[in-house]
Amino acid sequence: MSSMQVLHEPYQSAMEVFTPEQRTKHHMRGLLPATPLSPEAFEKRILADFDAETDPLKKFLILSDLADRSLHLYYYVITRNFGKLNPFIYTPTVGLYCQKYHLCHRPKRVLYYTLRDEGHIDEITSNWPQKEVDIVVMTDGGRILGLGDQGANGIGIPIGKLALYCAAAGSDPEKVLPVQIDVGTSNMKLRDDPLYLGLNQDRLRGDAYYAFVGTVVESIHKRWPKALIQFEDFGMVNALDLLDIWRNKILSFNDDIQGTGAVTLAALINACRARGKTVKDLVNDRILFAGAGSAAVGIADAIVAGMVVEGVPKEEAVKSFFFVNTKGLVGKGRTDLNPSQIRYQRQDFPGGTDLIATAKAIKPTIVIGVSGTPNQFTEELVSIMKENTPCPIIFPLSNPTSQAECTAEQVFAWTGGKAVFAAGSPFAPVTKDGVTLHTNQCNNMYIFPALGLAAAKVHATRVTDRMLYRSAAALAEQVSEEEVKKGILFPPLSQIRDISHKIATAVVHEAMDEGVVPEPPCKKEEVHEWLRTQMYDPAKKLAEL
């Protein structure tokens, strides 16, 4: 590679941060101004640009343009400022980015497999320049956050998720692959836009859809048999079906079902601790879901698994759950349900009642929003909850912030500050009568980067239910007794690297115990230290360029 190519290659370039020695090594005399910047000085400059901008999408683009110029400087800045920058590489801003992706498109390091490429799938796979791939995040754009079908614009999500893999857990950015499967879109606003860049046709469905996705998955698996595939933001039925098809064939998981399930279980483990109870006591709760899609099923499955581990019989555990979707309560007489929803269908309540009527009938103590519908959690709903519990647990989990079922301000106003609150996107803490009330971000970013890193690094053959359960438990136990009493459910994002490291260790231990690691890289007691040696460190990498 010529010196000019090194300077312009995002994997190789440290731009003005190249030291005099690196400039000599890469024959760069004359290609850069005289004075090198330290990484810290560069970081200050970027943050000043970032702070001066008020438009969130432009803030997002300042960071993403940096990633396109120098990946290691990008991760240097992101890892050192994770709490502050995370909302601008991920939810909520990544939602805006997806909606506008076609209007601010720059060529990215991503792969698009489109229906037009049938017969050329392996060729596309072989076009990826990197020899090794550890992690693939794949979407078909069918259900992007709570924003519905975003077609080919959905690629913003795999890009954002993989940025978190590298920043939050230390996956190697040279070994991650974002994939968009473009099978058309039912989003007419995009299709009517002459600047839309994806396939302008209706979304493919049915057997042909599964066959096409299958060809892509197999092609990727053939080239990188040890890579982990994370399915992300597929429509509900496709997500559930694809998970069923692939989870026992290749190393894969669905983040919206299993990642969201695990992180919400962690939140509930700690909400139970705050009450002086454990997850098995959830048999005495009524957990009402707004939404009955893949996230609802995934969360309920994860909580049931957690209760079963603690000795609650499964038939008892499922009785705590109630799902309401656009057609009302998933109850007796509903004939429009898929097999996953049928597992939670109530035979003791008539199907079809709306959220409020259901709440009046069942007296919920916990509500979880996964409907993508803002304002669904109302004061009326919360006042019904207050009749049944002194401290309602209220989790509006839909993303981005604009789709959350209610806000933190509302919850604390309606409950006089007596609620445990967690949302999928970040909410600022609320101050009431001089007391700071904690808002928690219950987002799968606490789980998937560590889970995926762990599974991929030890070449696990599967992501098992117990690995998911351990990831939730390992996350929950990183919050102290005093913190949970204050309504804090998660450790601070500023410590995400350490948090992920501990979760990854627990996941590897579990995977080794379950025998899904054919060739363990070290002894069990050495896993934590071994993982440290495997985690990408941007400062170290910059020095080595």
Ligand X SMILES: O=C([O-])CC(=O)C(=O)O
Q: Does 255 bind ligand X (CB under 6 A)?
A: yes
Closer residue to ligand X, CB minimum distance, 312 or 450 = 450
- For the chain, the residue count is 545
Q: Binders of ligand X: how many residues, by CB under 6 A?
A: 9
Beta carbon of residue 424, minimum distance to ligand X (angstroms, whole number): 6
> Binders of ligand X among 105-144, rule CB under 6 A?
none
Render the burial of 178-208: b for 16+ CB within 10 Å, e for the rest. bbbbbbbbebeebbeeeebbbbeeebbeeee
Q: Which of 153, 230, 238, 443 binds ligand X (CB under 6 A)?
A: 443
DSSP label at residue 445 = G
Tokens of 507: 């996941």
The listed partner (Mg ion, ligand X, none) that binds 399, CB under 5 to 8 Å by sort, is ligand X
Q: Which residues are within 8 A (CB) of 107 and not within 5 positions of it... i.e. 6 or more apart?
A: none
Q: Which of 7, 136, 145, 159 binds ligand X (CB under 6 A)?
A: 145
Ramachandran category for residue 364: left, alpha or beta (phi over 0 → left; psi -120 to 50 → alpha): beta
Over the window 374 to 403, marking each residue x when it contacts ligand X by CB under 6 A and - when it does not, the resulting string is -------------------------x----
The listed partner (Mg ion, ligand X, none) that binds 443, CB under 5 to 8 Å by sort, is ligand X
Q: Does 491 bind ligand X (CB under 6 A)?
A: no
Beta carbon of residue 140, minimum distance to Mg ion (angstroms, whole number): 12
Q: Does 444 bind ligand X (CB under 6 A)?
A: yes
Q: Does 294 bind ligand X (CB under 6 A)?
A: no
Tokens of 18: 């190249």
Q: Does 441 bind ligand X (CB under 6 A)?
A: no
Q: What are phi and psi of 180, to 5 degrees?
A: -115, 125
The listed partner (Mg ion, ligand X, none) that binds 505, CB under 5 to 8 Å by sort, is none
Residues catalogued as catalytic = 90, 161
Tokens of 347: 């035979």
Beta carbon of residue 406, minimum distance to ligand X (angstroms, whole number): 16
> Binders of ligand X among 409-438, rule CB under 6 A?
424
Closer residue to ligand X, CB minimum distance, 39 or 154 = 154
Beta carbon of residue 398, minimum distance to ligand X (angstroms, whole number): 7
Q: Does 98 bind ligand X (CB under 6 A)?
A: no
Beta carbon of residue 230, minimum distance to Mg ion (angstroms, whole number): 9
Beta carbon of residue 122, minimum distance to ligand X (angstroms, whole number): 29
Q: Which of 241, 256, 285, 405 binds ligand X (CB under 6 A)?
A: 256
Distance (Å, rounded) from C-alpha 321 to C-alpha 411? 22
Residues that bind Mg ion (CB under 5 A): 233, 256
Tokens of 363: 């007296």
> Binders of ligand X among 320-339, rule CB under 6 A?
none
Distance (Å, rounded) from C-alpha 529 to C-alpha 27? 37
Local structure of 246: helix, strand or coil: helix
420-423/393-396 β-pairing: parallel
Closest C-alpha among 478, 484, 479 to residue 506: 478
Beta bridge partners of 395: 368
Closest C-alpha among 43, 65, 56 to residue 90: 56
Distance (Å, rounded) from C-alpha 540 to C-alpha 545? 9
Q: Does 233 bind ligand X (CB under 6 A)?
A: yes
Closest C-alpha among 336, 318, 317 to residue 327: 336
Binding site for ligand X (CB under 6 A): 91, 145, 233, 255-256, 399, 424, 443-444
